[in-house]
Amino acid sequence: MPPSSDADVPAWTAELGLPGLVDVHTHFLPERVLRKVWAFFDEASTHYGTEWAIFYRYAEETRLRVLRELGVTTFAPLVYAHKPDMAAWLTEWVLDFARRTPDAVPTATIFPEPTVAEYLAKALDAGARCVKVHVQVGGFDPRDPLLDPAWGLLAEAGVPVVVHCGNGPRRGEYTGLDVFEDVLRRNPRLVAVLAHAGMPDYAAALDLVGRYPRVHLDTTMVGVAFSEQFAPLPNDWAARLAGNADRIVLGTDFPNIPYPYAEQLAAIATWAGNEDRLGADFLRAVLHDTPSRLLGLSA
């Protein structure tokens, strides 16, 4: 049975034969930045037309304890910039966070600016194993020529980049999977993870998975009751996943979700239960094996 509460998660994971969960999409930020992010969500009714109460609104130490109690053995703490001269110091902060947090993998972020290749190369040399790009919040065009060297570095290194480029939960000036596909055409070896499975354009996101062998989807906020209100999954979602079972990875948006972590896991379990070609093997791949491979935890 899928977990009905966070307390159920460790036993459910153990029943699957997994040593734990690997989450590619969480957020840890400098305190002053996090306060601003949470203040934005406090006004979600204005921004999104719905309330968005942060479920895990705790101090950093408590948030880390919650992840560990859930059985999350490895996670990618993602940071993102919304203006120039921000990405480099955020990357420095999150690399330091990973150094002092054994279960966090080193990450980085980028922004279209003349120094992007310099600080990204430095981060990769320091061991960054995942990069976050937030087209919507950043308000930039991912096709900006200033980013060309960064996309090239990432494609060459094989380091996954979690890209929020879909039109959900609201459209941005440069969002849209068609826009990001221009980046993929120029960098077909890029290991891209489409955040939120391209929400709300799920079918188009799966089409990109079919066309580009290094494109993956993360499960962040996909199929949970909250998101189904404004971005419902297509009826054939589980069947379509069957052909791409090794390209789906666990992501949650912890701690900035308005519901318990277990709800995301239950949604994924529902997909597995609704399609005979998925089942427990799919769950093991999504929750552990595929994200472990992407983050360099296993071959």
Residue 277 located in a structural domain: yes
Over residues 262-295, the pLDDT tens digits come to 999 999 999 999 999 999 999 999 999 999 999 9
- Confidence class of residue 298 from pLDDT cuts 50, 70 and 90? low
* 273 part of a folded domain: yes
Question: Do the domain assignments include residue 187?
Answer: yes
Sheet holding 192-194, edge to edge: 107-109, 130-134, 161-164, 192-194, 215-218, 248-249
What is the structure's pLDDT at 128?
A: 98
Residue 299 lies in a domain: no
- pLDDT tens for 151-204 read 999 999 999 999 999 999 989 999 999 999 999 999 999 999 999 999 999 999
DSSP annotation string for 207-223: HHHHH-TTEEEE-TT-S
| Rounded CA separation 174/137 (Å) | 10
Per-residue pLDDT tens digits for 129-155: 999 999 999 999 999 999 999 999 999
pLDDT at 299 over 60: no
Q: Is residue 145 part of a domain?
A: yes
Residue 39 lies in a domain: yes
Range of the domain at 72: 6-294
With respect to residue 1, please indicate whether it lies within any of the assigned structural domains. Answer: no
- Residue 143 covered by a domain: yes
**pTM for this one?**
0.97
Task: List beta partners, residue 193.
Answer: 162, 216
CATH number at residue 108: 3.20.20.140
Domain count, the chain: 1
